[in-house]
Amino acid sequence: MTDTMIAPLAPAAPQNLLPLVPDLSWQENALCAQAGPEFFFPAPGSSTREAKQLCGACEGRVACLEYALAHDERFGVWGGLSEKERIRLKRVRG
């Protein structure tokens, strides 16, 4: 055993924790809040056309898509893109 002392970690200041909390304010005016989840999480093989049309008119579309990409959302339509489309976008972005 060595005589090395380890200093305790200082508590994190509240402002340092803010980046850990995602900004979800885009959800307040999101058009998807007015539609049922079946549009955005359709059964396998079902159309996502209606969800994508709704997303296309939504002011929160970009924030929604960025949230889905950052949190690795694997199911449903987010920001106007399906699961496969988001995977392709992530590959392109690197």
The response to whether 64 counts as a known ligand-binding position is yes
47, two tokens: 């159309």
The response to whether 20 counts as a known ligand-binding position is no
Whether the Cβ atoms of residue 78 and residue 64 lie closer than 8 Å to each other: yes
Question: CA 81, 87, 89: angle at the middle one, nearest 5?
Answer: 70
Q: What is the spatial distance between Cα 61 and Cα 65, in angstroms, rounded to a whole number?
A: 6
The response to whether 55 counts as a known ligand-binding position is yes
Binding residues: 32, 55, 58, 64
Binding residues for [4Fe-4S] cluster: 32, 55, 58, 64
